[in-house]
Chain A
Amino acid sequence: MNGIEQALIGGVDGGTAILLPGLGELVSQRSGVVNLGTEGCMLAGALASYAAAVDFHSAWVGVVIGMLAGSLCGGLHAWLVVKRKADQLASGLVIWFLALGVTSVFGSSFINKSVPPIAIWKIPLLGSIPWVGRILFDHDGLVYLSFVLVAAVWFLLYRTRMGLTLRATGERPEVVAATGGHPDRVKFLAVMLGAGLAGIGGAQLSVGYVDNWFNDMTNGYGFVAVAVVLFAAWRPVTVFLGSMMFGVALAAASVIQAHGIAVNQYLLDSLPYVITLIALVAFSRRGSSQAPEGLSKALTSSG
């Protein structure tokens, strides 16, 4: 196995921790709500799933609990933003800060506990394809779940009545209301669903990828997910590509180190963030014209 292959395999694992919250954020933003609290929802999901996996000796119970914890955080954000008309960016950051505080207060007793791993399952046939099979189809279940979710979110958005309502809510909530819909309810659901995916993303990180819990372990991945959604111009497949790009950059850093190339670890660590920033800048002009209209207002508001 050469270095490039290692980086790509690791990239899919790491990228999944961006892809899941990214898809969630995509659903949320399509309804016109940006959730910077995605970072906090991931943290909550990471700790809750890890704790549940320790207590119930089951990784998958952990994943479900992680999803619920993420949803709960998202619910708080939705309530503040939709019902209480709070500023979306400020509310999101407060959610993150609260989650950071709560998880570091309650997480200390779970550091270095052992959890049952999520089994790695090589998909028959697909997994035997040379090269591609090893990179894409030899992972744990959450990775496959995230692949399926890319398709599911795409289908939801573009091929269902629900998706149409969701997109319409992000563009013109008043039109949805005038035609007998309930934009507030749609936003609430979208944000909670999205935050639930962020919770699973946290679980993928703690129970799956890292196999441990430590304070602030999401390390900005939730914020990166928000950035990925922005530069992917709210399209599921592009979110997939962007997430994997971040994942590969992340994995490349450790592969480069493992191959004994003397570059400082922290310079390499900053690489994924720099790449994300560059992508965000490069695609911002083009992307922002495709932003849901309700979202553009939220993104530029302050005060």
Chain B
Amino acid sequence: MSDTIAPPMQEQETDGQKPSWKRPQLFDLVSKKAGSDSFLKRLAWALGAYVGVLVIFGIVVEIKGANAFSVLSTMIHETLLRSDSLQQAALRAVPVTLAALAVAIPARAGMVNVGGEGQLIVGAVAASGIGVALGGSAPGPIGWAVMLLAGAAAGGLWGGICGWLRTGMGANEAVTTLLMNFIANDLMLYLIYQPWKDPHSSGQPESRPLHSALQLPALFGSQINLGVILAATVALVVWVAMKYSGWGFALRVVGGNPEAARRAGLGVNRLMLSSMVAGGALAGIGGMLNLAGVELQLRPDITATFGYIAFLASWLGRHDPLKVVGASVLFSAIAVSGDGLQLNYGLDGTVTDILLGLIVVAPLFLSKRRLVSGGTR
């Protein structure tokens, strides 16, 4: 018996890129027979998948001894029909949306950024460091601008490192961004347990809170703060940049076929790196806005898996900026709706994580049908 099998094709080590060329694939031929799905049929599949999501979620809830229908109706009532929780959802959506766009932009260029969590953390860390150092010495707007820049720089650096490790060193960015999340978290824990520890805090260690002048102001007498407006503006800018700028177009070309992009004279590595820096910077801004608007000080679990929820949201929105924003807001609302379940049903709030996961299983389940019906990228 042979110890070796046919060696991989020619190894063109062109800047860490694999040559991508099509060879006849038996399986595509086989699955083509379903290619004539009508719109109605696809709609039926999609509806079926999401009904399945609710059924499975309901079963989980029932196993935990709560009534599935009343839990779902509570989630809807508590979130959609109460302005208080709608505002909470809007606040939660700030870091989630920006971290989701941090996934969506690199995805355009064919990169997988799973580092939203870490990029949110370092953004918040940098903003907190600068903010606490400023104290009350700077007027609000200047302080916010400096903190925002610091958060963006830190997030951009965190994402950029992984981008460079991919383009320069050939290390898979999905794995490096994941590892960097844990490193970011340990870095933050180190700071709040030792050098940045608030001497006045009791119990849970926290960093010193921001000076009240640096807190993002609430608007219209509601809980909604300036961060929501800023996040919405940033999202709009991203959408315009992706849709209308040459950079956004070039990213799509790189993501579609890096080899063709290279032949067309595009700086593929530079573009990929730029997408990771831009994505990381957005998540860093998200971390800063969450800190200055809501948290005010660093604490363990400050991000509470927002970065991963954002990853799922970007997938649900198929990395299209507007859809990604919609998915992020939806996911934030669902996550917030879980808070009441503990009180009313004794259900752990993380039960909504299961629902979020299942919601993303649905499009993954439908991938095959999408591939067959032409595939929109």
Contacts and interface: CB of A to CB of B under 8 A. Distances in A.
B107 A230 contact: no
A55 to B, nearest CB: 16
Given A97-B353, A105-B60, A293 B179 contact: no
B157 interface: no
B367 interface: yes
Contacts of B60: 102, 105
B1 interface: yes
Contact of A277 (B180, B357, B366): B180
Contacts of B16: 285, 288
B111 interface: yes
B110 A220 contact: no
Interface stretch (A12-20, A191-199, A237-245, A294-302): A294-302
Given A84-B365, A178-B26, A269 B179 contact: no
A214 interface: no
Interface in A58-99: 80, 83-87, 89-91, 93-94, 97-98
Interface in A80-131: 80, 83-87, 89-91, 93-94, 97-98, 100-102, 104-106, 108
A274 interface: yes
Interface string B158-188: 0000000100011110111011111100110
Interface stretch (A134-142, A145-153, A204-212, A260-268): A260-268
A93 B26 contact: no
A302 B108 CA distance: 8
Contacts of A86: 364-365, 367-368
A153 to B, nearest CB: 15
B203 interface: no
A186 to B, nearest CB: 14
Contacts, number: 191
Contact size range, B: 35 or more
Q: Which of A87, A230, A281, A289 has the most CB of B within 10 A?
A: A281
A276 interface: yes
Given A91-B364, A223-B175, A158 B3 contact: yes
B110 A105 contact: no
Interface residues of A, number: 68
B9 A293 contact: yes
A87 B110 contact: no
A177 interface: yes
Given A158-B3, A293-B9, A105 B348 contact: yes
A270 interface: yes
Contacts of B312: 93-94, 97
Provide the main secondary structure of the chain A interface.
Answer: helix
B250 interface: no
A80 B367 CA distance: 9
B2 interface: yes
B194 interface: yes
B190 interface: yes
A300 B18 contact: yes
B197 to A, nearest CB: 11
Nearest to A173: B27
B170 A273 contact: no
B263 to A, nearest CB: 18
Interface string A211-224: 00001000110011
Given A84-B365, A281-B165, A288 B357 contact: no
A274 B183 contact: yes
Contacts of A300: 18, 110
Interface stretch (A1-9, A41-49, A161-169): A161-169
Provide the main secondary structure of the chain B interface.
Answer: helix
A299 to B, nearest CB: 6
A233 interface: no
A126 to B, nearest CB: 29
B25 interface: yes
A90 B366 CA distance: 13
Nearest to B370: A85
A177 B64 contact: no
B8 A171 contact: yes
Contacts of B308: 93, 97
Contacts of A106: 63-64
B182 A219 contact: yes
A57 interface: no
A98 B357 CA distance: 5
A285 to B, nearest CB: 5
Contacts of A178: 26
B112 interface: yes
Nearest to A86: B364
B207 to A, nearest CB: 13
Contacts of B24: 174
Contacts of A80: 361, 364-365, 367
Interface string B294-316: 00000000000100100110010
A91 B371 CA distance: 16
B329 to A, nearest CB: 19
A280 interface: yes
A105 B172 contact: no
Interface in B356-377: 356-358, 360-361, 364-368, 371, 377
13 contacts: A80-B361, A85-B368, A86-B367, A100-B353, A168-B5, A177-B27, A215-B350, A220-B181, A265-B193, A281-B176, A288-B170, A290-B8, A291-B8
Interface of A: 36, 80, 83-87, 89-91, 93-94, 97-98, 100-102, 104-106, 108, 158-161, 164, 167-168, 171-174, 177-178, 215, 219-220, 223-224, 226-227, 230, 264-267, 269-270, 273-274, 276-277, 280-281, 284-285, 288-291, 293, 296-297, 299-303
Ranked nearest first, the 3 interchain pairs of A and B with the lowest CB-CB distance are: A101-B353, A270-B186, A86-B364
